[in-house]
Chain A
């Protein structure tokens, strides 16, 4: 299973739990959980699936929660690449 699929599965598992919770709390429950426990690169991948792949495979509740999920800053450029960037000119 590719890592993207795995991420979708993890997100959907969280959504599955919150589906059974009171409807008004559910999207916030999913978002809070992901904000609390997902490292930025995992959230970045999630946003990539949402932004660039139409949220393919994601549970509707995850999609509802997306606006509440903290969008991480773009990935830090490793110093090596940042250093080598000028040399590429």
Chain B
């Protein structure tokens, strides 16, 4: 094993199609026009010495090391900033160049510490490499004069020296090692788009500075790691590298956080993870990362991980550690007993959107083939199930239409109900890059999210609608487009059903759908809305990106349909730069849906009632499959409360914390006789579990994740599972205990079964993924390379279907008792229920959930910033601290759900989407009042959680 090789070409690739031929050091080379001489040289295999250039950022031309000579031109131009031209004859190594480079290096080293042996970058230092490359043998200037290296000069305090900044939990900034190449500053600007870093001072006094000479952790820095990656010295270094040393091998794998699905190199020393570095060839992230994927992996070795299976009879008992065999036998016996006593349909399971495709496939197979029913669901139920329904109805398939690269070709973007800078940071950076190039942005969101206005980004229109009125606003956009004749008639006639369009157009054109008519209840200024509609319809390639602010409503599915209508009406489907793009929450939520996790459909979105599909699986699995849809998660809980549902196998999901109306969830779980939780930690749901099966992390298993762009990425095992087994093995062993004859030796065999049964995966295999890197489904005979963009020459369902979208106000209404609307979301540093990120240093950025409230609403209630407040709804109440901010409008409050002590879902109701039962997280009528401390529920729950986490024979740390 060795480190995965990556070539730094020095400057970014040119996109030009015209090719240019030139000669470098006697080698003829042909490259796209606009390529730098530095890059062309590297492509010819010639490494021109360089320090300030790296191909993640544009050329800068400051280090004067990459100079070359060009025949017929004067001087020694920098190869990074000089583009190729036809017929150029370039020399990269001449006597003159050698002298200049040596002189430049000598000056660099004269102000750089010579502690190479004990330096963290030893073995990975470009400055050291360049000193070697130019043959530096002597530094004539000494260290006695002005320098940044020494704390004291001849006993006197050196004002130019600055101490290390170790404030960021993951990396250090050591100014004494800085060569002021500006790579970090440019990475922050160009790659991440945060503009947190700058160069302060001038000349010899130039320094890298986070914000206004702040500490990293106090600055705007979002800790994405791009600067650390860009740094050629040990100035910016991962603390893990300082602690452990340089890695000796690396393996490409896929991040297990959000649905962007970034590719990383897991850089290892033995089985110890040294660091995660974004992989340049990763087609979702193109070499970029966020704080979660790059740094927040510490949970994988956290002491809270449970490594032995455990059982208990009653949830009030302490846990008892047992052997794996005992645990399997117990679950099998309990599930069979329950089915004997209460019927075949009295048990079910939940697949995990954090586990691999292969694992998810096995769980649904266990339920359908082993339990003999279709009571399988997944956490997509509570996030993107309306996407499945809405896009399925209109386009014929339930997935995003584009790849992430598509954003580089978009001209107008609508972001609705999504906060990508926090939820999908790497995509947000790619979007911001395009916006800085001039693309226009429309944000539809109750909050003034970061995209609305941030450095070098300004939305052309922000429609700050009242939560719950998405359908009215999107339909009004369509109203403007139709009534002003801005629709794309050619596209519609060619690709869609024209009579359905006419019906829809007449519907949206009704005056009651006009921006003026809806202003009263949406709160959106009609002129702003009209401007946004005109811009989207006429601004070139129009793309729509949306998140859970669209789906998690009682009309979630209707809004998805409205979005699809809008894209079809403006002809924005089926090519680069356009499309409808759901931003998926979890790493494998797309995959878990693809793999047949929904109770009504088999892998590949084929309805369970379809005889031909069932027959494929029946033949292969040797069982008769039930042709009726099973229970969805909320239905399971209802059935449990009602007494007909008694056993549940949950792999990697924490429904108690993540699902709405916590009291209903806990009542449902408490009514069951055997709840089996398979997870890394004793999560909140495990408080109600009878069996705990330890899970494994993404670093400990092989498999695949499918991201929001339908990209199937490999997950590769880099260390032995701490609990002894990958999750797919646990499910297989459980299946065997239940009498199923499974014998997969490797996840690749599971993928082979998926490919054999699911037409959209027909060509997918581990060998093929090895060859291709990754592919986007459908990947079959028709599209052997996969499908970066869907619906190119027509919709999957045939003709695109326009469907009327009538706005219906949610039943969750404000009134005198509950006058404010609560909406929920997430922050950059935390992830979902926080089980992983709370167990990392990320808590320095977000150690508690806060309630965002507008200054007016706060003042009316006598609430100051930081005060404890009581947040109450019809469903329940909790307390948390207030954050007074005008990011939210008056009448709207906002919080996150990352911390179990807050239990934001005690507040949310069990109202749900009409089509899919996706919960209405985004709208809850609430009241806020000052508070002294935790609510009764919080105290009781805390006590319950403490009691239910007891393990026999192990003392509680707190006692």
Contact = CB atoms under 8 A, between A and B. Distances in A.
B638 A21 contact: no
B630 interface: yes
Interface string A1-33: 101001001100110110111100000000001
A86 interface: no
A41 B348 CA distance: 14
Contact of B343 (A19, A38, A75): A75
A76 interface: yes
Residue among A14, A40, A41, A77 with most chain B CB within 10 A: A41
Interface in A16-71: 16-17, 19-22, 33, 35-42
B683 interface: no
B344 A16 contact: no
B804 A20 contact: yes
B804 A36 contact: no
B638 A16 contact: no
B628 A39 contact: yes
A19 B808 CA distance: 11
Interface in B339-375: 339-346, 374-375
Given A14-B914, A14-B915, A3 B641 contact: yes
A38 to B, nearest CB: 7
Interface in B780-809: 803-806, 808
B340 A79 contact: yes
Contact of A6 (B343, B632, B638, B644): B638
Contact of A77 (B343, B644, B804): B343
Nearest to B337: A80
B635 interface: yes
B554 A39 contact: no
Contacts of A72: 628
B669 to A, nearest CB: 16
B440 interface: no
Contacts of A6: 638, 910
A13 B554 contact: yes
Nearest to B599: A39
Interface in B834-866: none
B345 A41 contact: yes
A17 B628 contact: no
A21 B804 contact: yes
B806 A36 contact: no
A3 to B, nearest CB: 5
A37 B600 contact: yes
B91 interface: no
A22 B503 contact: yes
Interface string B322-335: 00000000000000
B375, B632, B916: residue with the most chain A Cβ atoms closer than 10 Å: B632
Contact of A40 (B628, B642, B803, B917): B628
Interface residues of B, number: 42
A75 B346 CA distance: 11
B469 interface: no
A39 B343 contact: no
A17 B644 CA distance: 30
B480 interface: no
B629 A38 contact: yes
A68 B70 CA distance: 81
B915 to A, nearest CB: 7
B937 to A, nearest CB: 19
A42 B635 contact: yes
Contacts of A79: 339-340, 343
Nearest to A17: B914
Given A21-B804, A42-B635, A77-B343, A33 B503 contact: no
A78 B644 CA distance: 11
Contact of A76 (B343, B557, B631, B803): B343
Contacts of B558: 17
A51 B914 CA distance: 24
Contacts of B910: 1, 6
A47 B600 CA distance: 20
A6 B637 CA distance: 12
A19 B914 CA distance: 13
B342 A36 contact: no
A81 to B, nearest CB: 8
Contacts of B917: 10
A41 B808 contact: no
A3 B638 contact: yes
B951 interface: no
Given A3-B638, A78-B341, A39 B631 contact: yes
B629 A17 contact: no
B474 to A, nearest CB: 15
A14 B554 CA distance: 10
Given A3-B641, A38-B629, A33 B340 contact: no
B343 A21 contact: no
B639 interface: yes
Interface string B909-920: 010101111000
Contacts of A33: 915
Nearest to B375: A39
A37 B916 CA distance: 8
B607 interface: yes
Contacts of B635: 39, 42
A19 B507 CA distance: 13
B629 A36 contact: yes
A71 B44 CA distance: 72
A22 B917 CA distance: 24
A76 B373 CA distance: 12
B184 to A, nearest CB: 52
Given A17-B808, A36-B629, A78-B346, 9 more contacts: A6-B910, A9-B811, A14-B914, A14-B915, A19-B806, A37-B916, A39-B374, A78-B343, A79-B343
25 contacts: A1-B910, A10-B912, A13-B914, A14-B915, A17-B558, A17-B806, A20-B507, A21-B803, A22-B804, A35-B609, A36-B600, A37-B629, A37-B916, A39-B345, A39-B599, A39-B630, A39-B632, A41-B639, A41-B644, A42-B631, A75-B343, A76-B345, A78-B341, A78-B343, A79-B340
